């Protein structure tokens, strides 16, 4: 009998059109079902949610899954457990693994959509892909942050709200970005507004 890992891997390899990916680690969020799906969307789109052991136990506690099953499904989402031996101690670090490795996890998918678990997908993913990628003939579409317009603002907010405890490492990361050519936003980079920061004056202790 194949293990749950083998079953999940086969399902991920069989996803050959559009995949929507999200993740919940340390039981920080709840699973939100997408809205506005078309009648044929589930035949074309795969929905995968990556979780850790702690989150999986929370789902079982609320009666959403049976932990003895070889595969887990909640609504449209297929739940994939990531072994704790392969995870970081910081849940924030774990969340970016499937985000950045979608192309490796789903090698046969033509398009992928990452959605933060704090968000709920309100538009059919096929419509998103068509309107934002295919019709404009581009490789990637990225949503605009509701508050910040560039990476430096996001980094300073991360330090300010202690979302990342090692502020020195965060500062070093941003300085490395600057050394490798990251520049402030200018009016030429519309539709986003220009920023006020400079690489020579990084202050993470606001």
Tens digit of each residue's pLDDT (9 = 90 or more) over 109-145:
999 999 999 889 999 999 999 999 999 898 988 887 7
* pLDDT bucket at 168, cuts 50 / 70 / 90: confident
The mean pLDDT of the chain is 85
> pLDDT, tens digit, for every residue of 178-198?
888 887 766 676 655 545 555
| The pLDDT of residue 120 | 93
Q: What is the 3-state secondary structure (H, E, C) of the chain?
A: CCCHHHHHHHHHHHCCCEEEEEEECCCCCCCCCCCCCCCCHHHHEEEEEEECHHHHHHHHHCCCCCCCCCCEEECCEEEEECCHHHCCCCHHHHHHHHHHCHHHHCCCCCEEEECCCCCCCCCCHHHHHHHHHHCCCCCCCCCCCCCCCCHHHHHHHHHHCCCCCCHHHHHHHHHHHHHCCCCCCCHHHCCCCCCCCCCCCCCCCC
> pLDDT, tens digit, for every residue of 9-54?
999 999 999 999 999 998 888 999 999 999 999 999 999 999 999 9
Q: What is the pTM of this model?
A: 0.79
Res 164 pLDDT > 80: no
């Amino acid at each position: 009998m194949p293990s749950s890992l083998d079953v999940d891997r086969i399902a991920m390899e069989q996803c050959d059109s559009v995949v929507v990916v999200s993740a919940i680690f340390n039981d920080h969020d709840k699973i939100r079902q997408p809205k506005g799906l078309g009648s044929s969307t589930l035949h074309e789109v795969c929905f995968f949610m990556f979780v850790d052991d702690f989150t999986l136990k929370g789902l079982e506690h609320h009666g959403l899954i049976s932990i003895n099953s070889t595969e887990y499904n909640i609504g449209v989402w297929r739940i994939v457990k990531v072994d704790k031996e392969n995870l970081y101690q910081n849940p924030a670090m774990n969340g970016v693994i499937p985000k950045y490795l979608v192309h490796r996890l789903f090698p046969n998918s033509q398009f992928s959509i990452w959605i933060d678990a704090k968000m709920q997908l309100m538009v059919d993913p096929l419509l998103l892909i068509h309107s934002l990628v295919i019709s404009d003939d581009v490789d990637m579409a990225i949503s605009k942050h509701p508050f910040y317009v560039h990476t430096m603002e996001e980094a300073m907010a991360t330090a300010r709200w202690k979302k990342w405890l090692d502020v020195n490492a965060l500062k070093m990361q941003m300085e490395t970005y600057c050394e490798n050519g990251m520049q402030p936003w200018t009016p030429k980079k519309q539709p986003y507004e220009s920023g006020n920061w400079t690489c020579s004056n990084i202050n993470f202790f606001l």
